[in-house]
Structure 1
Amino acid sequence: MTTVHVKYLIDLFLWSVAALLAYSTRLDGHLQGYAVPLALYVAATLPFKAFVIYRFRLHRQRWQIVSVHDLYRLLLAVGSTTVLLQLALLLVQPGGIPRSVPLLEGLFALLTMGAARLLFRLIFERDGRRTAATTFEGPRKRVLVVGAGDAGVMIAREIGRHPEAGLDVIGFVDDDPDKQRKTFMGLPMLGTLDTLARVIEAQQVNEVLIAIPSAGGEVVRKVIAQSKGAGVAYRIIPGIYEILGGQVSVSQIREVRPEDLLRRPPAQIDTQAIAGYLRDKVVLVTGAGGSIGSELVRQVVQFAPRRVILFGRGENSIFNIEQEMARNWPDIDCVALIGDVRDETRLRAVFGQHRPNVVFHAAAHKHVPLMEGSPCEAILNNIVGTRNVVELSLEFGVERLVNISTDKAVNPTSVMGASKRVAEMLVSSGAQRTKPGQAFVSVRFGNVLGSRGSVVPTFLAQIKAGGPITVTHPEMTRYFMTIPEASRLVVQAGGLALNGSVHVLNMGQPVRIADLAQDLIQLTGAQGVEVVFTGMRPGEKLYEELLTTAENITATEHSEIFVAELEQPDPQWVRNQVQRLEDAARRWSPEDVRRLLRETVPENLLPHHA
């Protein structure tokens, strides 16, 4: 007999005992003369109760981790049965069965069946703690949790379930006045963030755990500063964009990362609008192995597409994201394909075979200094590749095309920025040729933290090497956004379906690069690392813009996404200019490429020398 069968019989037995308790309660314990009606009632209702237990799958619940949802399921099963039995009794009115018996029986069934589950869970957790505690070697850490919201309480509960981690939660701190002088899971509220250092000292805390997924970077910085000042370690649970399904586990506790210092309050996502255009669709992601492309894949699979095409030219990165999808999303059909968006023949074969409904175009060269040295490559990849994607999307009736753009496309001072502005023009001109039901858009945002080759990994490598950190200018600022946040808003922008638009994301406040460098030095605890200013590189801006002076901005239904009102280019003129750019790039003429970029992008600030 399996555990499932045992739980089935326990539920059936307890529900039958509930009938006896109902009779006894109704008759004040005087059951003489009611033995036969009681037996008949139990026998008559037993098959129906057995069916309800099976139909509601009560015997399939895991009593070791029984949850509120499981108890709600039990309430539905017992409650619906009680209502039906009560109605049947009122209609038939058999002798020997008091009318209140079904109601009392339902109450006792809920109490006994629910208590059995909770008792089993308590025994399981107690035995698990004893066993795990004996396997942990070394001193246990006294942990103070910052944040007593849902995530904080959840992580405290998880730590209690896993004593093998060697952690003991001793209480919380939180700035919410309504939570002061209260307990959570039997653990006290010990103070606020302002009193964190005093609490650490008074409670002999070994580690501080930041458990506020929605906290902004200023909160994270404040906790780190006080923890460092008190000489204790600190860790964090992931931000809201990293937690899938809203669940937090001990395994998700990690070291504080640079992106945590720049957290912003999470944007609300309209999941219905996203699911409406992704569910059961074939989705193609170009550049799927890159930082943005791979995160787009992670966001897309959450909305149950029929198939996801992972397209890119770096075989190792495509292999890695394919393996990740196989591990984490085995039910999603993911097809990994190697190819280059510059190769129209290869791209046509992919479109013809898989017929994508939605395309996210993330394949691009993005490094400003490198593209200054190889401008022809920027043309072939960023412009010609985008043209191929747009034309094939039109030919094969793609419903949504979302092009990933950049703030460097605004008043571009670099080849890379100018090439991305032309890519936006290609998507906008392609949108003028779409049919009803199609929407081609671009999404423009700033730097993403942690992407390959970006400033944060570069600074961390310099710190690891002992310094110095090289910053080009003391006043240089950039907009930053985390990769999950940016990708999620890109997916949301596709759901707006504003054909031909260039979306601008709310990037928050710009960050001084010199300040970011100092934050990283503090975060890593490095000593003696200096920040050296080296002078601006060719094509760099002192600060980035998200709009040109000729652009207006309008709001959308989403608070974090806006639309830049651009002049619509003549599609034929754009095609002609792109062809001239391609010809110059293929004959490897950097001078002609720069001259044509200045012609094509009137708002450019490109220098007139190579």
Structure 2
Amino acid sequence: MKSILNPTYLSVRMQEQLKKVNLSEIGYLPRYLVFIIDIFLLCLALVISLFVLQAVNVNFDSGVTQHKIFLLLSTNILFFYLFKTYSGLIRHSSFTDIYKLTLASLSTFALVNIIDYGIYFITGTKVFIMAGLLLYTVLSFSFLLIFRVFIKQLYVTYKDLIGKKSKKKVAIIGVEDASISLGKALATETGQNYELIAFLSQKKFKNIRIAGKPVIAVTSSLQETLKNLRIDGVLIIGKTLSVKEKNQIVNDCFACNLQVFNAPHVEEWSSASQVTQQIKAIEIEDLLDREPINLDNNSIRRDLSGKTILITGAAGSIGSELVRQIAPYNPKKLILVDQAESPLYDLELELKEKFPKLNFKPVLATISNKYRMEALFKKYNFSVVFNAAAYKHVPVIERNPREAIMVNILGTVILAKLSSQFGVRKFVMVSTDKAVNPTNVMGASKRAAEMFVQSFQNEKENKTQFITTRFGNVLGSNGSVIPHFKRQIAQGGPITVTHEKIIRYFMTIPEACQLVLQAGTMGQGGEIFVFDMGKPVKILDLAKRMIRLSGFKPYTDIDIQITGLRPGEKLFEELLGDTSTTLPTHNEKIMIAKDSPLPFSEVEAKTKKLIKASVRMNDKNQMVMLLKELVPEFVSRNSSFENLDKLKRLDKIDFSEIASNTMNSV
């Protein structure tokens, strides 16, 4: 067997390995190649050291021999191996790599000197001269360091050259401290996707440069200034601007076909190298034209601090945000119920990471299981219940009315009765604007739930305060139009809009949950709180704006298709019924819908009929007929159940008679 220490064998193996190296495909220098180059540089340093010493008539004491060269190089290579000087990526060399090289060089110098003096004490003759060792050590370390610096700089230059065309040229709005810090990060960080061109300021500066970039005064208007700049977009720090200012900047940029990018505030940076990774195209949520909500945190804290709280639908968009907002108020315990296994597990992991001291228990269950819910109420002494569990997708529920009745209605009934039975102080129900004059099964089921808890409030034995909160669409919630449009844009379009005139109210998830918590503290029982949703948004305009914010042109880069209203869908949503009026509260964003509840005996009787029929029968028409009897204002639109309304208007159908016959049959 050939010895691996045989020089001929090593030479052959190296040649074989080098033949396998395709330089055009190397993403980084292999370790063995770095090791070979380092050895070559050591040899070069040794040769130069000998030439220098000979030039000044200084030589090694007893001449240069192969043994001396082998001893010096092998010692240096030994410390290369021990300190792993070749293990890092050369292009990403850092202080740690320089430190390793320094240790290897100094250790070589020290060990060779120890060996040299050991031989001297034994034989009386020194093998190496000190000047030669010092010169070799300095040259070898310098060559190794220069090699790494050269490769790193070569890589940076290469990346800049190939990346320059793909970098977005941007101007930063403002010259405040935060803007300047952002500009410096862009100017100094390598490998990022943005090239800073200039700063834009309302103030007039003369020949001022920051981080090597000019400060351009916005003289007449931002739009006019942008037209004269060769940039791809502008960069703003969202926290330093009001919503109105951000919208104006976006409009000016749209007029110039420019993108708007949003950067985090300097206080949110974990490191300067991460800031460019956090720069994103501005989101539609950032442009929601609404004023910040002023909360009465003291009232909320009194209601929630030290209390055991049940949150149903806890893994959903609203439920999970409720959990996040309740957690800082230090509840005694949070019981989180949801029937979705994976989202509930994700929420559990998030809470353990963000709120390690929070006392919570995730429970996998459905609220329509009475025995499961009753076990929870017996085990925990709940003070407050937030019922955010519901089926909410209109087209899906239109095809599956039984599920809406079982969860949205039966689930609410079970929770409401258990809350009253076990002395829960407050029950807060999350409802929807689709419950007002409902045109679909989902909205009607939520209205039925509203009616039940509102009428149940007046029962003599009841001590629980039942509070209903009603609001419109929530930006970014699961299944809402915003993430749907984002996915369609990411896929290259088209964006699908059901009707060119359809409008909706919107608010953000945190805003909706803040108002739910505030309404919960304000309620005395029986109220339906309606939230100020701001101005309604035309969905077609929303789609166009989202396309532009993504850097594309509507109908040119991303098409928009009108698909027609879905089953049960309205052109516009309402927050109040035809007979309702509102009363103001101390929070200008929260109103009380003045709506007289029906007698509980009547609501309960009709609700029982509906639930029993849904449990025991498979006829969707029968279920929806009973739902229409319970919610008289429920008139189907763009749905297969429209025929039921036509028959009723023609007096060819008697809901009360059908209800009676249904109950007899079951």
Same fold (TM over 0.5): yes
1:356 offset after TM fit, Å?
A: 2.1
Q: 1:435 to 1:277 in 2, by over 3 A?
A: farther
Q: Does 1:484 align with 2:484?
A: no
Which of 329, 341, 344 is residue 318 of structure 1 equivalent to?
344
Between 1:489-498 and 1:255-264, the stretch displaced more is 255-264
1:484 offset after TM fit, Å?
A: 1.4
Q: 1:390 to 1:156 in 2, by over 3 A?
A: farther
Q: Does 1:556 align with 2:585?
A: yes
Which of 614, 625, 628 is residue 595 of structure 1 equivalent to?
625
Give me the whole-angstrom Cα distance separating, in 2, the residues matched to 1:592 and 1:214: 57
Give me the whole-angstrom Cα distance separating, in 1, the residues matched to 2:450 and 2:284: 31
Give me the whole-angstrom Cα distance separating, in 1, the residues matched to 2:603 and 2:455: 7
Q: 1:467 to 1:332 in 2, by over 3 A?
A: same
1:539 offset after TM fit, Å?
A: 1.1
1:467 offset after TM fit, Å?
A: 3.0
Stretches of structure 2 lacking an aligned partner (at least 5 in a row)? 1-151, 270-274, 645-666
**Alignment correspondent of 1:508:** 534
1:145 offset after TM fit, Å?
A: 4.5
Please give the per-residue CA displacement for 1:546-572, whole angstroms capped at 9, x wherever unaligned.
101100101111010100011122122
Q: 1:160 to 1:282 in 2, by over 3 A?
A: farther
Please give the per-residue CA displacement for 1:508-548, whole angstroms capped at 9, x wherever unaligned.
11111111111122222344332222222221111111101
**Alignment correspondent of 2:237:** 211
Residue identity opposite 1:274 in structure 2:
I
Residue identity opposite 2:578 in structure 1:
T
**RMSD, aligned CA:** 3.5
TM-score using structure 1 length = 0.68
Give me the whole-angstrom Cα distance separating, in 2, the residues matched to 1:355 and 1:361: 16
Give me the whole-angstrom Cα distance separating, in 1, the residues matched to 2:385 and 2:218: 47
Give me the whole-angstrom Cα distance separating, in 2, the residues matched to 1:361 and 1:603: 24
SS at match of 1:609: helix
Q: Does 1:565 align with 2:591?
A: no
Q: 1:267 to 1:180 in 2, by over 3 A?
A: farther
Q: 1:171 to 1:309 in 2, by over 3 A?
A: farther
**Alignment correspondent of 1:544:** 573
Between 1:582-591 and 1:155-164, the stretch displaced more is 155-164
Give me the whole-angstrom Cα distance separating, in 2, the residues matched to 1:379 and 1:194: 60
Q: 1:278 to 1:193 in 2, by over 3 A?
A: farther
Residue identity opposite 2:567 in structure 1:
P
Q: Does 1:275 align with 2:285?
A: no
Give me the whole-angstrom Cα distance separating, in 2, the residues matched to 1:270 and 1:422: 31
Q: Does 1:528 align with 2:557?
A: yes
Q: Does 1:347 align with 2:373?
A: yes
Residue identity opposite 1:567 in structure 2:
S
Residue identity opposite 1:602 in structure 2:
P
Residue identity opposite 2:560 in structure 1:
V
**Alignment correspondent of 2:74:** none
Please give the per-residue CA displacement for 1:313-366, whole angstroms capped at 9, x wherever unaligned.
111000111111111111111211100001111111222223222211111010
Stretches of structure 1 lacking an aligned partner (at least 5 in a row)? 1-132
SS at match of 1:332: coil
Q: Does 1:396 align with 2:413?
A: no
**Alignment correspondent of 2:14:** none
Residue identity opposite 2:630 in structure 1:
T
1:597 offset after TM fit, Å?
A: 1.6
Which of 275, 297, 300 is residue 326 of structure 2 equivalent to?
300
TM-score using structure 2 length = 0.63
**Alignment correspondent of 2:143:** none
Is the contact made by 1:394 and 1:434 (CA closer than 8 Å) also made in structure 2?
no
1:485 offset after TM fit, Å?
A: 1.3
Between 1:358-367 and 1:261-270, the stretch displaced more is 261-270
**Alignment correspondent of 1:605:** 635
1:214 offset after TM fit, Å?
A: 8.3
Q: 1:281 to 1:198 in 2, by over 3 A?
A: same
Give me the whole-angstrom Cα distance separating, in 1, the residues matched to 2:174 and 2:295: 23
Between 1:504-513 and 1:528-537, the stretch displaced more is 528-537
Is the contact made by 1:468 and 1:530 (CA closer than 8 Å) also made in structure 2?
yes
Q: 1:143 to 1:474 in 2, by over 3 A?
A: closer
Residue identity opposite 2:587 in structure 1:
H
Is the contact made by 2:197 and 2:231 (CA closer than 8 Å) also made in structure 1?
no
Q: 1:603 to 1:157 in 2, by over 3 A?
A: same
**Alignment correspondent of 2:280:** 254
Please give the per-residue CA displacement for 1:277-332, whole angstroms capped at 9, x wherever unaligned.
11122222111111111111111112222222221011100011111111111111
Residue pairs, 1:51-70, within 5 angstroms: none
Give me the whole-angstrom Cα distance separating, in 2, the residues matched to 1:389 and 1:465: 42
Is the contact made by 2:335 and 2:362 (CA closer than 8 Å) also made in structure 1?
yes
Is the contact made by 1:394 and 1:430 (CA closer than 8 Å) also made in structure 2?
no
Q: 1:217 to 1:544 in 2, by over 3 A?
A: farther
Give me the whole-angstrom Cα distance separating, in 2, the residues matched to 1:596 and 1:446: 26
Between 1:318-327 and 1:437-446, the stretch displaced more is 437-446
SS at match of 1:432: coil
1:436 offset after TM fit, Å?
A: 9.4
Residue identity opposite 2:424 in structure 1:
V
SS at match of 2:280: coil
Q: 1:181 to 1:270 in 2, by over 3 A?
A: farther
Give me the whole-angstrom Cα distance separating, in 2, the residues matched to 1:264 and 1:578: 39
Which of 205, 213, 222 is residue 196 of structure 1 equivalent to?
222
Aligned length: 465
Is the contact made by 1:478 and 1:511 (CA closer than 8 Å) also made in structure 2?
yes
Give me the whole-angstrom Cα distance separating, in 1, the residues matched to 2:390 and 2:350: 22
Residue identity opposite 2:572 in structure 1:
Y
Is the contact made by 2:314 and 2:389 (CA closer than 8 Å) also made in structure 1?
yes
User: Highest Rg: 1 or 2?
Assistant: 2
**Alignment correspondent of 2:471:** 445
**Alignment correspondent of 2:605:** 576
Q: 1:586 to 1:335 in 2, by over 3 A?
A: same
1:248 offset after TM fit, Å?
A: 3.9
Please give the per-residue CA displacement for 1:428-479, whole angstroms capped at 9, x wherever unaligned.
1232248898422111111111212111222233333333322222111111
Between 1:277-286 and 1:335-344, the stretch displaced more is 277-286
Q: Does 1:291 align with 2:321?
A: no
Give me the whole-angstrom Cα distance separating, in 2, the residues matched to 1:491 and 1:532: 39
